Amino acid sequence: MMNVDEVATMVEVEEEPAKRKKIVPGKTVNSSKWRAIWEKIIEIFFFLCASTAVISVIVITIYIFAQGTPAILKIGPLKFVLGKLWRPEAEIFGVLPMIIGSIYATLGAIIIGVPIGIFTAIFLSELAPGWLIKIVRPAVELLAGIPSVIYGFFGLVIIVPLIEDKLNVSAGNSLLAASIILGIMILPTVVSISEAAIRAVPQSYKEGSLAMGASHIQTIFKVILPAARSGILAAVVLGIGRAVGETMAVILVAGNAPMMPKALTGPIRTLTANIAIEMGYAYGLHREALFGSGVILFIFIMMLNIILNVSTYKAGE
């Protein structure tokens, strides 16, 4: 790219005016003072830009809670969180079915996505020959880039009919379909972060284990994976975050009946789907209750974030 000579000439050109000013000593002091102030102003500007993230988080938290908590308090926090019925037309608002739905769908996604993801990460970092890495890694990256609505669409036209066919159920829009789609969707997150964690394990661990006579696979599972566990944990937590927060893909495949999930092939409605489906026409307490489900979702995500931060912080030490 750019070599040092080029850099040097660029800087020289920039410094010419300063040389000229040196003829008048008083002015130099003045201009350098101004320059210092200018630099300080710019630094403060950069700092303000950096604090945008902090401000955004604070404002988002405040507004979501401000809109959601009144309804929760009006309905009664316990009644809202533990209520098993969601009947907006009768003003009965219990989000437990949606909470359970979100948890089940996420669990399903983890069961499907995490083992495949970690194995793929192992493949990429330890086993794959170079030419295969060149195929698998871009594939994982592309998987991460595909819009969620396309996953939902794919699930609706492929996975749902497949479930209807193979398992002989009338409607394939189900917990199972949602778990499969979410499992695929968390794959790239799990793969890329686990792979980075595995690659970060010092080479000497591996060499030591191999020198003691352990096979490559034994080394991977007994030495490398345990050493990379905090990174892999972070990968799983991020995957959970993605699965909990996913909306459109889940709506298209999950059936969305607001009742307690009963079977693997039965319909579920997640917290996110609850908001997205009903927000369009809701008003009054119903609308506020939807913001209430948003608050529950937000609390979930914040807890995940804190877990993630604590675990990566520990790993950094």
Partner 1 sequence: MYLLIRQVNNVNMRKTIDHLLNCKMLGKFFSKFSMRKTIDHLLTTCIWISSFVTVGVLAWILLHVLLNGIGHINWEFLSTAAKGHEGGILPMIVSTVAVVLVAVGISTPIGVCAAIYLVEYAKPGKVVRAIRFATETLAGIPSIIYGMFGMIFFVNLLKLGFSILAGAVTLSIMVLPTIVRTTEEALKAVPIGFKEGSLALGASKLRTISRVILPSAIPGILAAIILSIGRIVGETAALYFTAGTVPRMPTAIMDSARTLSVHLYLLVYEGISFEKAYATATVLVVVVALINFMANRMVMVFKKH
Considering only residues 207 to 226 of the shown chain, the ones binding partner 1 according to CB under 8 A are 215-218, 220-221
Which is it for strands 86-87 and 92-93: parallel, antiparallel or unpaired?
A: antiparallel
CA distances from 263 to 50, 110, 176, 187, 225 (A): 47, 18, 9, 24, 34
Is there binding between residue 15 and partner 1 (CB under 8 A)?
yes
* Segment near partner 1 (CB under 8 A); pick from 13-21, 77-85, 88-96, 170-178: 13-21
Q: What is the footprint of partner 1 within residues 255-294 (CB under 8 A)?
A: 272, 275-276, 279, 291, 294
CA distances from 154 to 47, 167, 189, 252 (A): 44, 19, 19, 9
Q: What is the footprint of partner 1 within residues 64-93 (CB under 8 A)?
A: 64, 67
* Segment near partner 1 (CB under 8 A); pick from 49-57, 72-80, 87-95, 225-233: 49-57
Q: Determine which residue in the list 35, 84, 134, 314 makes contact with partner 1, applying CB under 8 A.
A: 35
Is there binding between residue 34 and partner 1 (CB under 8 A)?
no
Is there binding between residue 23 and partner 1 (CB under 8 A)?
no
- For the window 117-156, what string marks contact with partner 1 as x by the rule CB under 8 A? x-xx-xxx--xx---x--xx-xxxxxx-xxxxxxxxxx-x
Q: Determine which residue in the list 92, 100, 103, 158 makes contact with partner 1, applying CB under 8 A.
A: 158
Q: What is the footprint of partner 1 within residues 180-199 (CB under 8 A)?
A: 184, 187, 191
CA distances from 304 to 27, 96, 146, 310 (A): 57, 19, 24, 10
Site of tokens 């352990």? 214
C-beta of 263 vs 302, nearer to partner 1: 302
C-beta of 216 vs 229, nearer to partner 1: 216
C-beta of 12 vs 207, nearer to partner 1: 12
Q: Determine which residue in the list 173, 179, 209, 247 makes contact with partner 1, applying CB under 8 A.
A: 247
| CB neighbour list of residue 186: distance below 8 Å, 6 or more residues apart | 109, 110, 113, 114, 117, 239, 240, 242, 243
Q: What are the tokens at 60? A: 């988002």
User: Considering only CA atoms, which of 110, 90, 112 is closest in space to residue 102?
Assistant: 110
Q: Tell me the closest approach of the beta carbon of residue 71 to partner 1, in angstroms.
A: 13
Residue 262, SS3 per DSSP: coil
- Compute the distance between CA of residue 283 and CA of residue 305 in angstroms, rounded to an integer: 31
Q: Tell me the closest approach of the beta carbon of residue 290 to partner 1, in angstroms.
A: 8
Residue 23, SS3 per DSSP: coil
Is there binding between residue 63 and partner 1 (CB under 8 A)?
yes
* Segment near partner 1 (CB under 8 A); pick from 12-20, 78-86, 87-95, 201-209: 12-20
- Compute the distance between CA of residue 144 and CA of residue 135 in angstroms, rounded to an integer: 15
